Amino acid sequence: MKQLTKAEEEIMQILWDLTETNVAGIIEKIPEPKPAYNTVSTIVRILENKGFVDHRQKGKGYIYFPILERETYSNQSITQLMNNYFNGSFKSMVSFFMKKNDMSTEDLESIMKEINKEETS
């Protein structure tokens, strides 16, 4: 799966939140300073070429919608992060984030309870 640039990811986050919209709807959700219409339109077409987005015609314009789920992309990104920076070790990655974020033992126990709850569901 291809990686997204920062600008592409910003637009994908908006599309995942809205589920479908036109370019004007995307621009509306982008904070100031807003990019030009043509810039956003170009990024959306790039996302289409990468297989993240599709469209349907509505009148003279297009409605865009994600064809890749947020969770699928998140899982792939986390796996790539783990493989590239932590030699594929989930334990090393969690340990790194615990140290960098001053997580307490209680925080870790809480996370483990959530994981265990998901596994039994």
* Closest by CA position to 63, among listed 29, 20, 96, 33: 20
The domain limits of the chain are: 6-66, 89-121
**Is the pLDDT reported for residue 81 higher than 70?**
yes
* Closest by CA position to 69, among listed 17, 2, 121: 17
Q: What is the pTM of this model?
A: 0.76
**Is the pLDDT reported for residue 121 higher than 70?**
no
DSSP structural state of residue 31: P
pLDDT band at 47; cut points 50, 70, 90: very high
CA distance 62 to 81: 34
In terms of residues, how long is the chain?
Answer: 121
**Is the pLDDT reported for residue 49 higher than 90?**
yes
CATH architecture of the domain covering 6-66:
Orthogonal Bundle (1.10)
Q: Which residue has the higher pLDDT, 64 or 112?
A: 64
Q: What is the pLDDT of residue 9?
A: 95
**Which residue pairs, CB below 8 angstroms and at least 24 apart, start in 4-9?**
4/47, 4/50, 4/52, 4/73, 7/43, 8/43, 8/46, 8/47, 8/50, 8/52
Provide the mean pLDDT of the chain: 91
Mind listing the pLDDT tens digit for each residue in 8-43? 999 999 999 999 999 999 999 999 999 999 999 999
